[in-house]
Structure 1
Amino acid sequence: MPRVLLTEDDDDLAFALTRLLNQRGYDVAWAATAAQARATAAKADHDLVVMDLGLPDEDGHDLLRGLLAGDPTIPVLVLTARDEAASAIKAIRLGATDYLTKPVESETLFSSLAAALEQSTLRRSLEAMRRQSMEGEGIVGSAPAFQRAMRALGQAAGAAHAPVLITGETGTGKELAARFVHRASPRSGGPFVVLNAACLPKELVESELFGHEAGAFTGAKAGRRGLFELASGGTLFLDEIGELPLDLQPKLLRVIEGHPFRRVGGEREIRADVRIVAATHRELAAFVEAGQFRQDLYFRLKVLGIHLPPLRERVEDIPLLVECFLSKFRETMGTAPPACSGEAMAALARYRWPGNIRELRNVIERAIILTPGPAIRIEDLPPEIAGPPAASARPAPQESLEDILQGRMVEAWENSGRNLSQTARTLGVTRVTLRSWLRKAGAYPVKD
């Protein structure tokens, strides 16, 4: 049964709406003021909000902003009088899903509710898919650059046929991002097939992609299907696309554009329903300028171009990533220290991470093996990380990393109306971790 938070100060209208919604199978929680709405939202999760902007104790736009800060995925339908068009437009810009004019016609109301619930279900499914497919390997974070990339990946997932080009430095999680696009797309029931173009001799790449017939070349004793055929109905991930042989690129372009292909040594034309997701750490535009990559293929691949930021541009996410890796290693190794010391965390924040998230994961695994105590120490880190920062490195921030993290968590907690579950979901941490940090900051009682 969908749960609705109704915020309306007109008792008669609230009673009528509640009764109407109950008759259609909605569970309604009514709040007459903004304060009551915040308290109700903090106590329980809701599937959508229907709210009036003219509230007696607070401007409705401020309440709207606060509710969406606590749960950005929740749809909010705004109730407005006929002369409040400007106010309704402002609400839409703040993130409201729709606005309804009083008096509300029942069919208009339920049509808007159905559309909002469908949108909310899609958003939350994408978020759950993101966590399932990426969190286990540490692809989590709240840094703005990372969140922009995640939103772009979610949007790309819905375009089941358009090519996607994921760029980013080595170790930023490009294959995991590609897997997310596949799992969150309508093709999720099909195969996800991977080819790393840098791992094969150039003369074998064509056979690997398109297959070959028996006798096509020395050693081809039997025919073999290529990856395009194996990936039919699903996604073909072409990693390190910049290493693809130049003479093979026209054939790849034709297949991406929907043309049939032939196996090496074959005459029969084959069609495959495949979505291409490509990735590279190279600057493909520079390759095009140098004549090492076809311009037409480059433009076709980057229809949906998404860049994953390096870890040095996401320093605030390092504590979340460390906690994620510690949790992961506790599952796989049976044991791992429950925390990382403040001194070690500060050293991790100072380091520039040329290997990005992959390097951080390896460093945490090494530290887990070496540490004898309940927390990772600075001496458990590699010398290049534990030592003093190089003169050319970015100066350390005046605030400690712990202060920054505590401040972000307290701010997110306050913005959510002090809802522990919503804040933990927003930050990508467990409730236990969030509660511990809030207590360290003096913002959470010692006992629940």
Structure 2
Amino acid sequence: MSQKIRILIVDDEESFVRSLSFALRTEGMDVTGVHSGEDAFLEVRKNQFDIILLDLRLPGADGMEVLNSIRNLDIDIPAIMISAHGDTRAAVKAVKLGAADYLSKPFELDELIHTINTVLDQNQTALELEYHRKRDVPANGLIGDCTVMNNLRTTIERVAKSSASRILLLGESGTGKALVARAIHGESPRSSRAFIEVNCAALPEQLIESELFGAEKGSYTGAHQKRTGLVKLADGGSLFLDEIGELPLALQAKFLHFLENGAYRPVGSEHSASADVRVIAATNRDLAEEVRLGNFREDLFYRLNVITIDIPALRERGDDIIKLVEHFADKQAKAEGCQPIKFALETVDILLAHHWRGNVRELKNLIERLTILYPAKMIYPELLPAEFHEDELHDEREPHQPASSNAPQLQDRLDTTERTLVRDALDQANGHKGRAAEILGISRHALKRRLQRLGLQ
């Protein structure tokens, strides 16, 4: 459920403030009423408001002076100016100088509520546009129709429409966790509100808290103006935290508190705020192991680990690889202004057999590279990078038996080498299979199959 709209009414007519406050509270709003510009100034310093209903004619400072004083505090609150009959021209001038809208007395309650909702929606949209203007937002859409992808779509649809507000995405690097998060948001009742994405690993540790929860002007070195936090931007929508395992321990407790009740405190602020946000977190780490190592809070892990979705690795998606190749080839050709590259059958076989440790990201980068170097050409195996021609000890596939009398001896040597590598990885990981799989660059299930095939316990 969304938080109550917090309104400050500033009008010198006490009866008007009293009756309007009562009417708005019956609509489920949180209302504070004052009767002078000085009192309004004090209130916005002590408390957070979503919107101000501000009378143009006040004793002492008029409405515009009050609004300018609030702006000078670097507090960005949209204001609806209230004008008496005959002050319409002054109200229009106020809008031109920064007020969000105006109403002339007398007005209907329905008209006021409609204006409040419109102004708040416009303000939220402006914040989102300012945020997204600085970002390259990827297109939504999951490509492929293999079994694991169809199962993933079914899960996304079910979770998106549910009441789940804390979702954890698991998968190797490059599998498209951000795309899945965006799909969950897009199919949810929150789709009309903001989708805000932040990579916890990409932000300096000292800035993550202010990035998430916002910060007051002067709250830390370099804070020359008030910062709006991503949590506030995502209010009513979804907040996607990629690489949640990189969240510093010192911030994990504060983030857990936010997950529990939606409350948070901007850096340097004397009062708390709240937001109704669906949090979608993602990681390619084994968080249970991170808990054991003391790198991740156990209570935060259990709070996140309620609804989990596993994103399949590219090598598990079969012929979807070809669909993705064609998709990225068309997309990159448009970017380069040329015809799409094509792939010879033997090249396709190599792509299908490749391990794809970087998953979809690695495939996308390959197509971009080939399109730039060989625009509109047919891609034969010799045009592929060197790593596609090397034997991969960590290949997921069972090795084929060569038609040679030396095959058993060669296979024995390969098994011995692989057995040594696996043992070394297990030694480095102190016997923990999940960590050993990370060291080897394979999935935990792939390691389990290797242990069985190589006869290792």
Please confirm whether the aligned pair reaches a TM-score higher than 0.5, indicating the same fold: yes
- Match 2:165 to one of 158, 162, 167: 162
Structure 1 391/225 Cα, relative in aligned 2: closer, same or farther at 3 Å? Answer: closer
The CA distance in 2 between the partners of 1:372 and 1:338, in whole Å, is: 6
- Match 1:310 to one of 308, 313, 318: 313
Q: CA deviation at 1:336?
A: 3.1
Specify the alignment match of 2:200 in structure 1. Answer: 197
The CA distance in 2 between the partners of 1:364 and 1:317, in whole Å, is: 15
Gaps of 5+ in 2: 1-137, 402-457
Specify the alignment match of 1:260 in structure 2. Answer: 263
Q: CA deviation at 1:177?
A: 0.9
Q: CA RMSD in A?
A: 2.2
- Match 1:209 to one of 203, 209, 212: 212
Preserved contact between residue 241 and residue 279 of structure 1 (Cα < 8 Å): yes
The CA distance in 2 between the partners of 1:370 and 1:195, in whole Å, is: 33
Could you tell me the TM-score, scaled by structure 2's length? 0.54
Preserved contact between residue 243 and residue 283 of structure 2 (Cα < 8 Å): yes
Specify the alignment match of 1:184 in structure 2. Answer: 187
Specify the alignment match of 2:27 in structure 1. Answer: none
Q: Deviations over 1:349-394 (max 9, x none)?
A: 1211111011011111222233366522212211111x15335533
Structure 1 217/348 Cα, relative in aligned 2: closer, same or farther at 3 Å? Answer: same
Structure 1 196/219 Cα, relative in aligned 2: closer, same or farther at 3 Å? Answer: same
Specify the alignment match of 1:361 in structure 2. Answer: 364
Gaps of 5+ in 1: 1-131, 399-448
Specify the alignment match of 1:379 in structure 2. Answer: 382
SS of residue in 2 equivalent to 1:257: helix
Q: CA deviation at 1:222?
A: 2.7
Residue 270 in structure 1 maps to residue 270 in structure 2: no
Q: CA deviation at 1:160?
A: 4.9
Correspondences of 1:91-106 after superposition (within 5 Å): none
Preserved contact between residue 329 and residue 336 of structure 1 (Cα < 8 Å): no
The CA distance in 1 between the partners of 2:254 and 2:202, in whole Å, is: 20
Q: CA deviation at 1:232?
A: 1.0
The CA distance in 2 between the partners of 1:372 and 1:273, in whole Å, is: 48
> Structure 2 counterpart of 1:179, which letter?
R
> Structure 2 counterpart of 1:382, which letter?
P
> Structure 2 counterpart of 1:151, which letter?
T
Q: Deviations over 1:394-435 (max 9, x none)?
A: 35789xxxxxxxxxxxxxxxxxxxxxxxxxxxxxxxxxxxxx
Correspondences of 1:189-338 after superposition (within 5 Å): 189-337=192-340
Specify the alignment match of 1:144 in structure 2. Answer: 147
The CA distance in 2 between the partners of 1:162 and 1:279, in whole Å, is: 14
The CA distance in 1 between the partners of 2:348 and 2:311, in whole Å, is: 23
SS of residue in 1 equivalent to 2:291: helix
The CA distance in 1 between the partners of 2:232 and 2:375, in whole Å, is: 51
Q: Which has the higher contact order (CA 8 A, sep 6+)?
A: 1
> Structure 2 counterpart of 1:173, which letter?
G
Q: CA deviation at 1:133?
A: 4.8
Q: CA deviation at 1:345?
A: 0.5
The CA distance in 2 between the partners of 1:133 and 1:306, in whole Å, is: 21
SS of residue in 2 equivalent to 1:229: helix
Could you tell me the TM-score, scaled by structure 1's length? 0.55
The CA distance in 2 between the partners of 1:392 and 1:304, in whole Å, is: 31
Specify the alignment match of 1:390 in structure 2. Answer: 392
Identity %: 44
- Match 2:177 to one of 164, 167, 174: 174
> Structure 1 counterpart of 2:224, which letter?
K
Preserved contact between residue 350 and residue 396 of structure 1 (Cα < 8 Å): no
Q: Deviations over 1:30-84 (max 9, x none)?
A: xxxxxxxxxxxxxxxxxxxxxxxxxxxxxxxxxxxxxxxxxxxxxxxxxxxxxxx
Preserved contact between residue 262 and residue 276 of structure 2 (Cα < 8 Å): no
Preserved contact between residue 199 and residue 242 of structure 2 (Cα < 8 Å): yes
